[in-house]
Structure 1
């Protein structure tokens, strides 16, 4: 059985409609913070886990979430604690040394860094704030052989 996990971050109160559709086709959704409004997440029909971003103090989410997937640890945090402008990948790797992958947000820039373990990924901004002209997300697919594959998605803002 293949597991498909949708990964998004930095929606800031709005999520691109194509991302909503893509996320709802997944088995699980992970939001890496800066949701801003709780009702932003009500568009999802797929089970969702979220962490608190630097703009989410009023929301009742944990700062860090971890999951075990087929014997591998997946860690999620917003990332602003590891460098305000650009979170340090070294710092994230040290904080989650036992993980296979760390998901963070905050920068609004999509990153897939598989140069070392754990992998460090940022889905980019799923909303319209500081997204460079397109809303972004990632899909993590884990197949029956436990091969992890990350696919990047970009959706132009036509509004």
Structure 2
């Protein structure tokens, strides 16, 4: 990809992605899901304008937690992936293998030192650590499970000259709203 791009970063949908996040993804060139997807319907609902959806498996992306018949789709997901963007490389992992929360960012920075940024999930906690390169980004939970204040995601604006991250958090819904994907809870 050349020129500037908008990349939707999301994680921890657990079978359901908030409609408002689906709408944001549609305005982006590509989407990156950092694991605990929960169902193929979640990935199918993500339709960035560039058509590229990159997703990695999380610790809950196992056959007994996905709908029956989706095993092939699940098995096709890698544990980590990277995307070359203008100005650098973005790495996606779930983060459950990166040690405890207090040392997770340092571990990710060491493991992916050649990346411009690392996006991870697992904690469901929105975090945008740009203190040093690689940046360590957690988009929080984009579904309805443990959103800690509402469903959230990040939008990465990447160009050769500059990267910028936009944090997006939505109010929790008082009543369940029709959402893309299946609610497996």
Question: What range describes the TM-score normalised by the shorter chain of this pair?
Answer: over 0.9
Instruction: State the TM-score, normalizing by the size of structure 2.
Output: 0.80
1:141 match: 157
Match of 2:54 among 49, 52, 63: 49
Give the secondary-structure state (helix, strand or coil) at the position aligned to 1:82: coil
Alignment of 1:1-159 (within 5 A): 1-46=3-48, 47-58=52-63, 59=74, 60-83=76-99, 88-143=104-159, 145-158=160-173, 159=175
Instruction: State the TM-score, normalizing by the size of structure 1.
Output: 0.93
Q: Is the 8 A contact 1:86 1:107 kept in 2?
A: no
* Residues paired across the two proteins, number: 158
Change (3 A) 1:133 1:125: same
Say which is worse superposed, 117-126 or 59-68, in terms of deviation: 59-68
Gaps of 5+ in 2: 64-73, 176-185
CA RMSD after TM alignment: 1.5
Report the structure, 1 or 2, having the larger strand content: 1
Q: Is the 8 A contact 1:33 1:53 kept in 2?
A: yes
